Amino acid sequence: MRYWGDGLLASVDGLRFQVPVRTINAAPSPKHFGFKRGITWLNAVNDQVAGIGQMVVPGTSRDSLHILDALLNLDGGVKPEMVATDNASYSDMVFGLFKILGYNFSLRFRDLDDQRF
């Protein structure tokens, strides 16, 4: 597996699903589901192309703290040093929280000129 990397880079992203029944994790998200409820399945994959963690969270638009929770409760593998995700997971305080806990938080910004640091 070393052909791919050392396992120190993780990419975390979420898939959103509409849920037709009431569940504990389903939440309304007008942006993604209109008036219906949904969930987000977060999946963490390292640079060795191995799944290292996953979790189901409410289908809200900001899931950066859930990403941190998934990384702190990994299913296995090497603890990553850098975490890459899209900017839907970005918030102002998350960078500091990731740094305090020993992670480098790296975002893939879309529309960089509209972002605020």
What pLDDT does residue 72 have?
86
What pLDDT does residue 111 have?
63
- DSSP states of 52-67: EEEEEEE--S--HHHH
Question: In this predicted model, what pLDDT tens digit does every residue of 57-110 receive, in sequence order?
Answer: 887 766 777 888 888 888 776 788 888 887 766 667 888 888 898 888 887 766
Tell me what the mean pLDDT of segment 24-49 comes to.
84
| Residue 47 maps to a domain | yes
What residues make up the domain containing 23?
A: 9-114
Instruction: Assess whether pLDDT exceeds 70 at residue 34.
Output: yes
Rounded to two decimals, the pTM is 0.74
| Residue 56 maps to a domain | yes
The helix/strand/coil state of 82 is: strand
User: CATH code at 37?
Assistant: 3.30.420
What pLDDT does residue 103 have?
87
| Residue 68 maps to a domain | yes
Backbone angles phi, psi at 14, to 5 degrees: -120, 145
What pLDDT does residue 110 have?
64
Instruction: Assess whether pLDDT exceeds 60 at residue 115.
Output: no
| Residue 2 maps to a domain | no
| Residue 4 maps to a domain | no
